[in-house]
Amino acid sequence: METLAYPPIQPDSKVTKTEDEWRNTLSPEAFHILRQSGTERPFGDTYKQFNEQEAGTYHCAGCGALLFSSNEKFDSHCGWPSFYDPANAENVTTKRDVSGGMTRIEVNCAICEGHLGHVFEGEGFNTPTDQRYCINGAGLKFVPANR
């Protein structure tokens, strides 16, 4: 997960690019996750970074849209960054995902339509929403609050 010194400029409309443009602007891992609905391995470097990060905001690695905040983050011990609610709900969409032989709710960036992960409900976490947004860290950029 890349750490930025300053928040990225927030897009004011949909961001669309060709596959080649996305491939040229994203890291190979971010491209695989955001554009091909991939998943990073659990308990990897981005998960470790996430657990060490203090206050700040999480933005889409594809378009810079504000997605999540440290105010809603928690460690669910699942191996991926977890949030109980988006920081800006307008920038996050969900849809039914029946891939992999199971039914889940996929989470996407509303601005660039990048795949972020999945949201799960009713798992019994002690959070205000009882939701776990299980998000691939390589699809995010972190901006510390003190910057």
Active site residue ranges: 134
Judge whether 141 and 61 are in contact, CB under 8 Å: yes
Judge whether 25 and 112 are in contact, CB under 8 Å: no
Q: Angle at CA 88, nearest 5°, toward 83 and 94? A: 70
3 vs 134: CA distance, rounded Å: 19
